[in-house]
Structure 1
Amino acid sequence: MTKKFYSIAVPCAFAMAFGLSACSDDSSSGADANIDTGDEINIPVSDKVSSATDKSVSSSSKIDTLRVEAYDSEESGSSADAESSSSSETSAKEDAGFINEGWREDCLAKINEYRATENLKPLTLAAQEKQTCADKQSADDLASNKAHGHFGDCGEFAQNSGPNFNASWQKNATAVAEYYLKMMWEEEKALVTSGERDPNKSEDYPYIGHYLNMKNTSYTKVACGITLSEDGKTGWFNVDFF
């Protein structure tokens, strides 16, 4: 496992080939809040997914993203038309089965499953408007090719992200959420339990921020957002904590 640290002024590193990258941030973590870390966790990907685009993971403030079809304002028409088009695209993706029904509840359940292992109170889903906002936030990050580029738009205090994933890599939104949450919790908790990183040291936050966000007792609600590119090939996953 290799890790690289990037300063607050530098966006999180893009995923390395055939690996995963992770960055974390938390707006409530004091003087060092909003650090966009760029620690990279290089994990081999099995042959069956090695042809997929790089998968990355990150957490709240500003980071990576991917290619998305440019939106030409001259051809966009009215905002109502744009909203209708966006709604149609979302419906098509949902009809295709990738964004499966109940995936947000699955996302919440997985977070609470991990929290329960440390006897922490379960979170609840934030209001529907926050869920919708998290979806839009994911779409905006995807379109701007900048992870955490819209951090704070939904009023969240912290955010974990799984940017730039290949939609063929997992069967649906639930599978994507569970995969990233597992990596965020287990990989980073291992750094804490081994003594390699200390949650009480701000300089270690870049390496264990996802885990700390997921276990933070100050948060009570969560919004899970996901989006796919217009061609349905690439996606973006955000988790907002309130």
Structure 2
Amino acid sequence: MFRFAFPALTVLTLIACQPAAHDNTPYGQERVDECIATACATLNVDGLGLRDYGQVNALSHVTSLMVSYTDFDSLSDIADMAQLRELHLSNSQVTDLSGLAAFPNLALVHMQGVSAEALATARFPAGVRELALGGPGATDLSIVHRVPGLRRLHVDTFTTSVSLAALEGHGNLSTVHLGDIRGLDLSPLLALPALRAVSLEFEPGGPDPVQTSVIAQLRARGVTVSTEEVVVPVC
């Protein structure tokens, strides 16, 4: 069973409040060395980075790799890790996602903060069940139709050009999380036959009247809808 991991937006926002980061790659290398010594299943170098990502390629015991908020820029550096089941590369430097096809066992892919051009290159293996998108590049949600087996979708940081209508026709989506729903038409969610749970994050003031009506209709259909107001910290 795979978890549906909702990022802590407040924590991510606080990152912007921090002073300029120092070179954290030595700490990333420590993580790799420890992972090798313990034959770890999860390698997390989020926010740390490595001077040589190619060294990770040989770690056949790693099934979950986290390289978000780093200068990781090429899936070819880890192309031999066919065993990977989770890949987190949000806000990395990857511009070509066609290499995702090289990981046949992937079930979870988190890639918020990648460009629209990068998303257009994505080639997902058939087993992906959870996908997280977000940032200014996540404007075309029709990408989900390249993942017919997708069950869980997380989308954050909408722009005015985003439309949930692109989700229509997907028969397997059962859990959807939407962050920052200001002005967003939620009605396409009513056309997802497998939908069972929706999580919504909104700015102070809550959903607008039209959104509130859709939420009521979803709940009437037996969909669990949870809402949360995002509090933006003041630095």
Normalising to structure 2: TM-score of the pair?
0.23
User: Whose Rg is larger?
Assistant: 2
Higher relative contact order (CA 8 A, sep 6+): 1
Higher helix share: 1
Normalising to structure 1: TM-score of the pair?
0.23
